[in-house]
Amino acid sequence: MEKQAEKSKSNGKKLIVLGFMTIAILFVIYARYQDPELLTPSAIDGIQRIAYGFYIIMIASFGAIALGMYRYHKDKVQSNGKDLSTIIALVTSNSRSRRIFVVTFIGYGIFFSLASGTLVYQPEVNFSIHYGADIPSGFIAPCCDGPGYMPKAIVYLTEHIGLQIIPINLVLQVIVSYLVGLNVAIATRAFTISKQGGGMSTIGAATGLFIACPTCAGTFLSIFIGTASGIALSLALTQLQTLLIAVSIPVLLVTPYAMARKLRNADGSCKIDSK
């Protein structure tokens, strides 16, 4: 039974690694098709098909990562070990923590979409009039931009609401939303324990504004600098915001383990019942 659980956990890890490696390889391969000179009439159809394939494979990769995370999390809970990863899994298996995680994941994902320009709302622009778009409709632009920024998917939902899906932003949105949800779920339970035993105030402060909202830094820069310096700088800040969010990922990864230490008993077991 123990060997079977270990094998299942290993398979979960392999799916996670496979999913992320596939996405990274996709970005590298597709970057080769971003030379405008390649965009000849004879090549455009082929590049367009590759762009469709890009999104199909990326979605499949997300599915592999999600399945791997589910298996790994489930096996950690069943093993009931005393390592920090198991404590994180036990804490987030609690029904209340799961609800907090889901609400935070969805809520932050929506905020991220607005802040990064993935979800576009332009009340002063009518897409059907200004862009000649059919409502609803969508298309994939296969070329040309920097690595990770193409192929770009454009979707017109209404005359004023649309989606601008950039691959690197989509990947960051899923990763950061997951990690923010995980941090908030653990922090909520940690604060409950801190009221009883103390010792969580420092970590609680560290998981405050920045951890709960790593997207805010780039958004504030865009507001206070971009509006004063024109469109060119605003576009540059969009990529800077992507960099700032990417830099926040290591912090979001480390913080759950720091909080998990405060949720571990002296014998290494978890202070919180997972049920």
In a domain, 252, yes or no: yes
Q: What is the mean pLDDT of the chain?
A: 76
- Say what the pLDDT of residue 21 is: 95
Q: Is the pLDDT score of 203 beyond 60?
A: no
Confidence of residue 274 (pLDDT cuts 50, 70, 90): low
In a domain, 246, yes or no: yes
Mean pLDDT for 160-182 is: 88
- Say what the pLDDT of residue 103 is: 92
Q: How far, in Å, CA of 211 to CA of 169, rounded?
A: 18
- Say what the pLDDT of residue 15 is: 93
Confidence of residue 18 (pLDDT cuts 50, 70, 90): very high
Mean pLDDT for 166-186 is: 87
What percent of the chain is modeled with pLDDT above 90? Answer: 16
Q: Is the pLDDT score of 29 beyond 60?
A: yes
In a domain, 200, yes or no: yes
Mean pLDDT for 214-236 is: 43
In a domain, 218, yes or no: yes
Mean pLDDT for 127-144 is: 86
Domain that holds residue 254: 94-117+167-275
In a domain, 10, yes or no: no
In a domain, 153, yes or no: no
Q: Please give the tally of structural domains in the chain.
A: 1
In a domain, 2, yes or no: no
pLDDT digits (tens, 9 = 90+) for 228-249: 443 344 445 455 566 666 677 8
In a domain, 225, yes or no: yes
Cβ(168)–Cβ(149) under 8 Å? Answer: yes
Q: Is the pLDDT score of 255 beyond 50?
A: yes
- Say what the pLDDT of residue 61 is: 96
